[in-house]
Amino acid sequence: MTRLGVPEIEADWALFLDLDGTLLDIAPRPDAVRVPDRLPGDLAGLSQCLGGALAVVSGRDCSTIDHLLAPFAPPGGFGHGAELRSADGILLPDSMPVPPAAWAESLAALVASRPGLLLERKPHGLAVHFRAVPDEGTRVHESMQRLAATRPADFAVLPAHMAFEIRPRAATKARAVETLMAAPPFTGRRPVFVGDDVTDEDGMEAARRFGGLGLHVGRDFTGGPAQVRNWIARAVAHLSPDIAHAQS
Residues with a catalytic annotation lie at: 18
Q: Does 178 bind Mg ion (CB under 5 A)?
A: no
Q: Which of 61, 83, 136, 197 binds Mg ion (CB under 5 A)?
A: 197
Shorter beta-carbon distance to Mg ion: residue 18 or 165: 18
Q: State in angstroms the smallest separation of the CB of 240 from Mg ion.
A: 27
Return the beta strands (E) in the chain as ranges. Answer: 2-3, 6-7, 13-17, 54-57, 76-78, 83-85, 118-121, 126-129, 155-160, 163-168, 190-195, 213-216
Q: State in angstroms the smallest separation of the CB of 217 from Mg ion.
A: 8
Give the up-direction half-sphere exposure of residue 139: CA atoms within 13 A in the CB hemisphere: 11
CA distance 215 to 142: 31
Shorter beta-carbon distance to Mg ion: residue 49 or 57: 57
CA distance 36 to 69: 10
Q: Does 165 bind Mg ion (CB under 5 A)?
A: no
- The site that binds Mg ion (CB under 5 A) totals a number of residues, namely 5
Q: State in angstroms the smallest separation of the CB of 95 from Mg ion.
A: 25
Q: For residue 150, what are the CA distances in angstroms to 139, 146, 163, 235?
A: 18, 7, 21, 47
Of 169, 182, 22, residue with least CA distance to 86: 182
Shorter beta-carbon distance to Mg ion: residue 165 or 196: 196
Side chain identity at 206, as an amino acid letter?
A: A
Q: Does 21 bind Mg ion (CB under 5 A)?
A: yes
Q: Which residue is nearest to Mg ion (CB)?
A: 21
Per DSSP, the three-state class of 19 is coil
Please choose, out of 16-24, 113-121, 184-192, 226-234, the segment that lies near Mg ion by the rule CB under 5 A: 16-24
Shorter beta-carbon distance to Mg ion: residue 215 or 239: 215
Binding site for Mg ion (CB under 5 A): 18, 20-21, 196-197
